[in-house]
Structure 1
Amino acid sequence: MINLTGVDKDIFSYLEPSKLRSFFLFAGAGSGKTRTLINVLECFRQTYLMEFVAYGKKIGVITYTNAACDEIKERLNYDESFEVSTIHSFAWGLIKPYTLDVKAWIVGALTQELFEVQEAQRKGRSGSKSAAERALKIVSIQRRLENLKSVSAFRYNPNGISSGKDSLNHSEVLKIASALIVNKPLLQRILVESFPILLIDESQDTQRDLIEAFLDVQKRHTGRFCLGLLGDVMQRIYPDGKKDLGKDVPEDWAIPEKKINYRCPSRIVDLINNIRSVFDSHSQVPEKKEPGFVHLFVVDSNGPVDRLTTELKISDMMSQITQDKLWNNLRADVKTLTLEHHMAAARGGFAEFFKPLYELSNRTDLVNGRLAGIPFLINVFIPFVQSVRAANKFRVMQILKEFSPLVTSENLKSSAESALKEAKDSVEALAKLLAERADPTISELLSVIADFNVLVLPDLFVQVLAASKVQTERDGIDDARDELNLKFEEALKSPFSQLVAYGNYIADRSSFGTHQGVKGLQFPRVMVILDDDDSRGFLFSYEKLFGSAELTKADRDNMAEGKETTVDRTRRLFYVTCSRAEESLAVVMYTKQPQLVVEFSKSQKLFSEVEITVV
C-alpha cells in the first residue's frame, strides 16, 4: 500500500465511494500534478477498485495530451478500470452510442448552415471566387445531408484522419457532447453511473462548454458524482478555456493546494512567484536547493536588429554566466520560447504558411494540428509527397490503398489494370513536378492530386482550388469570402518545405516553442523571447507588462470593471514560459525603451542589477 501524505492523502479521502466529494486542486508549475494523480489512483486501486469493477464502474481521467495519457496508462499498468483519455476521446466515448441524437444534432447544424450559404449565394455576385466556393459548399452540405440518411453508426478518429459519410470532426464531437450532456438527463445518469469519479487535468484549458456541462452534472448529482479539477488558472493559455474556473468554487467543494515546486531551482521559483503575485496570493516553495540562474537581456530595438544573430550572441553570454557549455548550442540544447507561434514560425522557416492561418479566430486548433484540413496535410499529403519524391513505391502504394479513390477494392476487382494505370500516371505527374521544381508550392502539388483524383481531398481544399482559378474583373471586387477558405488560399501558396517545417513544429520536433506548445514540459536551459514588434499581436504586450508602454483606455476600463486585460494575458504567458526552466533561464526583451524596462525590472524586484544586461 502506498503511504500517502499531505495533499495526496486529502485527495484520496475525497474519492471514498461512500462519501464522494468534488474538489479543485490548485497545482502551480512543476508541482508534481501527475505524480499526485498516479499515487492517488494507485492507492484507490488497492483499496476500492474491486468494488467499483463489480458494479461496472470506472474512474475517468481526462488529460491534455496523448503523451500524458500514455504516461498515466503505463504507470497504472494499463488497467482498463481507469478510462484515461484526452477530452476528445472521452467526449466521443460518451456520445458514440447515441447515433440518432448525434444525427439529429448534425442535421440541425447542417440545415442552418445550408440556409445561410444559399442566402449568401442568392445575394452575392456571380462569377466571383466566393460564388465558386459557395456553389461547392452547397453541394458538399447537400451531399452530407443525403448521406446521413443511410448512416447507422458514426466514426471518429481523435488522432488522425476522419473521412467518409459516417465520420465526425474534432469540433463536432465537442459541440455535440456538450449539448447532449446538458440536455439529455439519461446521458447524465449514465455518465454518473459509469464514471462516479471524473478527474480532469489542466482543467483551466479544457473547452469551456464541456467543463460547464460537467459542472452541471456535478450540481445535479452531488454526493454521487465526484468531479476533480486539477490545474492552475494562472496557466490558462487557450482562449476557449473557462476564464473564471477555480474562483467561484461551490462551498461544498474541497480546495487542496500543492505548494512545492519540484522543477525549478530557487531563483527561478522566486521569479515566477513574483510574476504571479499581482494576479493572486498563491506562491510556491522550491524543492531544489541549488539557486539556478536567471538573466534579463534588454535589446534596444529602435534601429535594425538581426534577431537570430543577437540571440546566438546572448546564448554565448549565458554560457559564460552559467559556466554551462551547452548554452553555446542554441539550436540543439536550448529551448527557445516565444510569445506567439508566428514568432516561432519566422525563426523556424514556416511563416508564409502559418501567418495567414494564425489570423483565424480559432488559433487553438491550428497549433494543436486539428484545424480543418490540417490532419490531411500532415498525415496523408506530406507522407505521400515525400514518398513520391523518394521513389518509395511500397510506401506510395500503402497510402494509395488507404486514401485513394482510384485504388479501391471495387475498382481493382472491376478494372484493376485501368485503376493502377491512373494511379501510376498521377504519381508520375507528381514526380515530374518535384523533379522540375526543388520546392513547389503546396497548392501546385494539391492541384496535381486533384486533377488526377489520386487522393480524396477534403471539401475545403476542393473549394479553395476552384476559387483560385477564378479571376475577378478588377482587384478587390468580390463578395465576402469564407474566412477559412480565404486564409488557406494564401497559406497554400507557400512552399511545400514550409508545411513540413510546420508539421515538425506542432509535433515538437523543433528547437522552437511557445507557451502553448510546452504545456507540462520542462527543459534544462530556456530562452524566453519577449518581442512586441515581432509578435504583431494586440492580445499581448510585454512593453505594457514591463511598464515601457502606456495602458490603453480599453485596458483601464477593463481593469476598473474587473475584466481581463492585455497585461493579465501577457503575465500568464510570462509565468508559463519562465516556469519551464529546470536549471537556467535567459529572458530576452526587445524594446524601444530599454532604460524604462531596466528600471521597472529592478523596482519590481523581478531581476537584480547584476542579472540585467543591456545588449
Structure 2
Amino acid sequence: MGGWVESKADALVRECLESRRSFAMIAGAGAGKTSSLVDALSRIRDREGIALRKHGQRVACITFTKRAVEVIKARLGFDELYLVSTLHGFLWGQISHFHDDIRQALCESRLPALIQKAEDDDNGGGSKKAQKARAKRARLIEQLALLESVKSFDYADTNFSDYGKGQIGHDDVIAIATHLLANNETLRRIVGLRFPYIFVDEAQDTFEGIVTGLNLVGAGIGLPVVGYFGDPWQQIYDRSAGVFSPPDGGEVIKKTENFRCSQSVIRLLNAYRRDVEQYAAGENAACEGSVEFLLVKAEDPTEPRRRYSEEQIERALLRMDAAVDAWGWAGRDDIVRLFLARQMIARRLGFADLNRLFTGDYASSRAQDAFEEGTHFLLKPFITTICPLVAAQAQGDEREIINLLRHNSPAFAIDGLNSEKSLNFMIEVSKEVVGQLQELWGGETIGTILRFCIEKQIIQPSDKLREHLDRAPRLEQFDEVIHSLDKGDWLADALFTMAPEAVSRYAQYLNNNTAYSTQHGVKGEEYAKVLVVYDDIEAAWNHYSFNKTLTPGTAGDPSDRQRSVTQKLAYVSFSRAMEDLRVVLFTADPAGARDELIRSELLRPDQIQIMN
C-alpha cells in the first residue's frame, strides 16, 4: 500500500474534530482506514494533548483484535495519552469498579435472559439437551440468589462464569456493559469525562448494543466525540452491528480511495458494490492487474445431506488444479487460495477425517460453525495451547514453551500451582511435562492427551469438555431421530479415539501457516495473487449461496439473509487481491451463469471461461 495522504474524507474528519462533532467513516476495502484512524488520533494529540494530560484525560481507541491493538499502539509511539484496547478490555476497564451496578445488571438483565434461554431449550423431555437445560436453569436460579452476598466481581478473558462466586466471562462483559450504558447515566458521564474522544475501529464488528450505548455517551453537542471507522460490507460476525451510525447530529463520511487493489479488481468491486465507488489512489494506480472467472459444471452430490463424496471432492480439486495450470499459476508460492469451507482444504492439508467428523452426522450446525471458526470447545485447548507446545518442543524453543505455559496453563500461572517455586524449578518442571506430552503425541489418542493435560494442569478445560471426558462412551448405535439432541456425545467420543496429527494440521491451517485459507480468515489481509473457490455444495451451509447471490436469474433468488452474508463474504474475498484475482465458481448452469454475469455488467465476456 502506498504512503498515506490526506483525502477529502480525512479533511472532513479533521473538521469534525475541530468542531467537536461525532462522525462515522465508511471506508471500503483498501481505503487506508487504519491510516485515517491513526492520523485522527495524532491530530488530537497535536491540538489538545497538553490539556488532556493536564486534566488526566485520555483518548480511547477500541479495536477488534489484540493484534490490531499492538499495531495501533506502535504507530502512535506507545504514547500513554491513548488507551488502545480491545472492546472487552475497554468495557471491563469502565465497569470493573462498579460492583453494585454489575450486580444490578446481572440481576435485572443478564441472568434472567440466560434463565429464559435455558427454559426455551427445555422441551420437557428426557434428552440430554433437555436435562442439561433444566440443570442449567436450576444452577442459574441458585446463582441469582447468591448474588446479594457477592462483594466483588472478577473477569477473565474466557467463556467461564460462576456468578455465585463473582466470576464473569467474555459474553457477560458485553451484556453487562450494554445494560449499564443504556440505563446508567452516571456511568455514561464518567466514561465521557475520562475519554473526551472515543474512536471505534472495525465498527461493523462491534456489538449493536455497544454502538447504541456509545452513541448515548456522545449524545449532544461538544465533547465527548465518538468516531467510528469501518465498513458494513466487511462485517463477518453474526452478532455484530453491521450497519453503524454516529450519534445524532454526527456526520457520515465515505472514503473512496483504494490504495491496495489493481485497476481491474477495483472495477469489479465498483460493479459489485454500488454504495461506494472507489478509485486507485496510490502506487496501485499504475497496476492494471487482471480478473478472471472460471465457471465449472458442478456435480450433483451423492452423499446424504447433499454432501460430496470423497471421490467428488477429489475431482473438484483436480478441476481447480487444471484451472490453476491454465492460468500459469501452478507451482507458485505467492498465491493464496480462499475457500468458504474446508472440505477441499482439509483433503489437501491432511485433516480430512477431522473435517468429515465436524461436518458429518454427529455435528450440529453450531458445531460446524465453531469448527470453521476454530472455537469449538473440544478443539480449542489444542489450538491455543497443546499444539503450540508440541511445535515449540519439536523446535527446541524453551522460551516459547515457558511463555505458552505462563499465559495458558493453570499450573504455571502467576497465581497457579507452582507460583511460589523458583524460575529454575519452573523450567525443569516444564521440560518434564512437555517432554511427556511429546511422547504421548507420538502414539496416544486425543482423549488420552486431553486427560493428561488436564491432570497436569496444562490446560483449563471447559465444563462441557470435562463432562464428555468423565462420562462413559455412548455404545448404542446412533439414530438421528432418537439421538438428535445428544449427537454431541458421539462427536466427542469419535474425536477422543482419533490420533492427534490431524488436529495439529488443522491448527497449523488456522494459524495461517499454509497457502490456504477460508474467506473468513483473511479479512484485513492483502495478497498479490488470490484464487477464490466458490462451491455452494462444498460449503454445505444453507445460509450462504454464491450462485444465488451472483447469478439469481440462473440459480434462483437467495433469502434476504443469504444475500446479506454472501455479498459481504464475497466482497471481502475479492478485495484481498492487490494485482490479480481468479475465481472458480462451481455452478449447475455455467452457460446461463456466464450470460447473467455479463448482463449484470459485473464482468466482460473475455473475463469468463467455462469448464464443463
What TM-score range do you get, normalising by the shorter chain? Answer: 0.7 to 0.9
TM-score (norm 2): 0.80
Give the match's secondary structure for 2:286. coil
1:567 counterpart (538, 563, 566): 563
Looking at structure 2, the residues matched to 286 and 396 of structure 1 have their Cα atoms a distance apart, in angstroms, of 45
Contact 2:103 2:147 (8 Å CA) reproduced: no
Q: Which residue of 1 aligns with 2:10?
A: 8
Tell me which moved more, 385-394 or 194-203: 385-394
Contact 1:298 1:598 (8 Å CA) reproduced: yes
The count of aligned residue pairs is 580
Q: Which residue of 2 aligns with 1:546?
A: 551
Return closer, same or farther for 1:492/1:135 CA change in 2, 3 Å cut-off: farther
2:610 counterpart (587, 597, 614): 614
Give the match's secondary structure for 2:520. coil
Aligned-pair CA distance for 1:600: 1.6
Contact 2:24 2:229 (8 Å CA) reproduced: yes
Give the match's secondary structure for 2:15. helix
Return closer, same or farther for 1:98/1:492 CA change in 2, 3 Å cut-off: farther
% identical equivalent positions: 24
Q: Which runs of 5+ in 2 are unaligned?
A: 301-311, 422-426
Q: Which residue of 2 aligns with 1:78?
A: 78
Q: Which residue of 1 aligns with 2:266?
A: 269
Return closer, same or farther for 1:33/1:123 CA change in 2, 3 Å cut-off: closer
Give the match's secondary structure for 1:296. strand
Give the match's secondary structure for 2:156. coil
Q: Which residue of 2 aligns with 1:536?
A: 540
Aligned-pair CA distance for 1:191: 1.2
1:116-175 alpha-carbon deviations (Å, 9 max, x no partner): 86998995549x6975897799779979997995664514348x9999966543222222
Return closer, same or farther for 1:183/1:611 CA change in 2, 3 Å cut-off: same
Return closer, same or farther for 1:529/1:20 CA change in 2, 3 Å cut-off: same
Corresponding position: 1:177 with 2:177: yes
Contact 1:91 1:177 (8 Å CA) reproduced: yes
Give the match's secondary structure for 1:257. strand
Q: Which residue of 2 aligns with 1:436?
A: 443
Looking at structure 1, the residues matched to 137 and 412 of structure 2 have their Cα atoms a distance apart, in angstroms, of 23
Aligned-pair CA distance for 1:90: 1.6
Looking at structure 2, the residues matched to 398 and 23 of structure 1 have their Cα atoms a distance apart, in angstroms, of 41
Q: Which residue of 1 aligns with 2:527?
A: 523
Return closer, same or farther for 1:124/1:390 CA change in 2, 3 Å cut-off: farther
Give the match's secondary structure for 1:520. coil
Q: Which residue of 1 aligns with 2:303?
A: none
TM-score (norm 1): 0.79
Give the match's secondary structure for 1:605. coil
Return closer, same or farther for 1:400/1:233 CA change in 2, 3 Å cut-off: closer
Looking at structure 2, the residues matched to 54 and 294 of structure 1 have their Cα atoms a distance apart, in angstroms, of 54
Matches for 1:28-107 after TM superposition, within 5 Å: 28-106=28-106
Contact 1:369 1:375 (8 Å CA) reproduced: yes
Aligned-pair CA distance for 1:229: 1.6
Aligned-pair CA distance for 1:369: 5.0
Aligned-pair CA distance for 1:534: 0.5
Contact 2:271 2:602 (8 Å CA) reproduced: yes
Aligned-pair CA distance for 1:218: 2.9
Contact 2:63 2:201 (8 Å CA) reproduced: yes
Looking at structure 2, the residues matched to 26 and 451 of structure 1 have their Cα atoms a distance apart, in angstroms, of 50
Aligned-pair CA distance for 1:530: 1.2
Looking at structure 1, the residues matched to 437 and 135 of structure 2 have their Cα atoms a distance apart, in angstroms, of 28
Q: Which residue of 2 aligns with 1:237?
A: 236
Looking at structure 1, the residues matched to 403 and 162 of structure 2 have their Cα atoms a distance apart, in angstroms, of 17
Aligned-pair CA distance for 1:284: 0.9
Aligned-pair CA distance for 1:286: 1.6
Return closer, same or farther for 1:115/1:63 CA change in 2, 3 Å cut-off: closer
Corresponding position: 1:312 with 2:321: yes
Aligned-pair CA distance for 1:272: 0.9
Looking at structure 2, the residues matched to 54 and 403 of structure 1 have their Cα atoms a distance apart, in angstroms, of 41
1:550-575 alpha-carbon deviations (Å, 9 max, x no partner): 435xx5xx6xxxxx342343222222
Letter aligned with residue 8 of structure 1: D
Matches for 1:379-390 after TM superposition, within 5 Å: 379-384=384-389
Aligned-pair CA distance for 1:368: 5.6
Give the match's secondary structure for 1:62. strand
Aligned-pair CA distance for 1:509: 2.6
Looking at structure 2, the residues matched to 142 and 482 of structure 1 have their Cα atoms a distance apart, in angstroms, of 25
Q: Which residue of 1 aligns with 2:381?
A: 376
Pairwise CA RMSD of aligned residues?
4.5
Q: Which residue of 1 aligns with 2:306?
A: none
Contact 1:64 1:202 (8 Å CA) reproduced: yes
Corresponding position: 1:285 with 2:279: yes
Looking at structure 2, the residues matched to 364 and 456 of structure 1 have their Cα atoms a distance apart, in angstroms, of 22
Matches for 1:288-367 after TM superposition, within 5 Å: 288-302=285-299, 304=312, 306-319=315-328, 327-329=329-331, 332-340=333-341, 344-345=345-346, 347-350=348-351, 352-353=353-354, 356=358, 359-361=364-366
Give the match's secondary structure for 1:297. strand
Contact 1:129 1:467 (8 Å CA) reproduced: no
Looking at structure 2, the residues matched to 274 and 485 of structure 1 have their Cα atoms a distance apart, in angstroms, of 47
Contact 2:121 2:129 (8 Å CA) reproduced: no
Looking at structure 1, the residues matched to 420 and 57 of structure 2 have their Cα atoms a distance apart, in angstroms, of 47
Give the match's secondary structure for 1:273. helix
Could you say which structure has the greater relative contact order, defined with CA pairs below 8 angstroms and 6 or more residues apart? 1
Q: Which residue of 2 aligns with 1:579?
A: 575
Q: Which residue of 2 aligns with 1:23?
A: 23
Contact 1:541 1:566 (8 Å CA) reproduced: yes
Return closer, same or farther for 1:391/1:476 CA change in 2, 3 Å cut-off: farther
Give the match's secondary structure for 1:291. coil
Return closer, same or farther for 1:44/1:501 CA change in 2, 3 Å cut-off: same
Letter aligned with residue 196 of structure 2: P
Looking at structure 1, the residues matched to 244 and 529 of structure 2 have their Cα atoms a distance apart, in angstroms, of 32
Give the match's secondary structure for 1:60. strand
Letter aligned with residue 68 of structure 1: A
Contact 2:554 2:592 (8 Å CA) reproduced: no
Q: Which residue of 1 aligns with 2:224?
A: 225
Looking at structure 2, the residues matched to 524 and 427 of structure 1 have their Cα atoms a distance apart, in angstroms, of 39
Matches for 1:501-516 after TM superposition, within 5 Å: 501-516=505-520
Return closer, same or farther for 1:356/1:218 CA change in 2, 3 Å cut-off: farther
Return closer, same or farther for 1:372/1:222 CA change in 2, 3 Å cut-off: farther
Looking at structure 2, the residues matched to 423 and 73 of structure 1 have their Cα atoms a distance apart, in angstroms, of 32
Give the match's secondary structure for 1:224. coil
Q: Which runs of 5+ in 1 are unaligned?
A: 320-326, 415-419, 559-563
Aligned-pair CA distance for 1:264: 0.8
Q: Which residue of 2 aligns with 1:212?
A: 212
Letter aligned with residue 175 of structure 2: K
Give the match's secondary structure for 2:226. strand
Give the match's secondary structure for 1:436. coil
Return closer, same or farther for 1:95/1:606 CA change in 2, 3 Å cut-off: same
Looking at structure 1, the residues matched to 11 and 212 of structure 2 have their Cα atoms a distance apart, in angstroms, of 27
Looking at structure 2, the residues matched to 485 and 230 of structure 1 have their Cα atoms a distance apart, in angstroms, of 43
Q: Which residue of 2 aligns with 1:253?
A: 250
Aligned-pair CA distance for 1:409: 7.2
Looking at structure 1, the residues matched to 293 and 589 of structure 2 have their Cα atoms a distance apart, in angstroms, of 15
Aligned-pair CA distance for 1:404: 5.2
Give the match's secondary structure for 1:46. helix
Return closer, same or farther for 1:458/1:116 CA change in 2, 3 Å cut-off: same
Looking at structure 1, the residues matched to 184 and 488 of structure 2 have their Cα atoms a distance apart, in angstroms, of 33
Aligned-pair CA distance for 1:474: 8.2
Q: Which residue of 2 aligns with 1:458?
A: 462
Q: Which residue of 2 aligns with 1:561?
A: none
Give the match's secondary structure for 2:179. helix
Matches for 1:406-417 after TM superposition, within 5 Å: none
Contact 2:25 2:230 (8 Å CA) reproduced: yes
Q: Which residue of 1 aligns with 2:307?
A: none
Looking at structure 1, the residues matched to 383 and 344 of structure 2 have their Cα atoms a distance apart, in angstroms, of 21
Contact 1:443 1:465 (8 Å CA) reproduced: yes
Aligned-pair CA distance for 1:585: 0.7
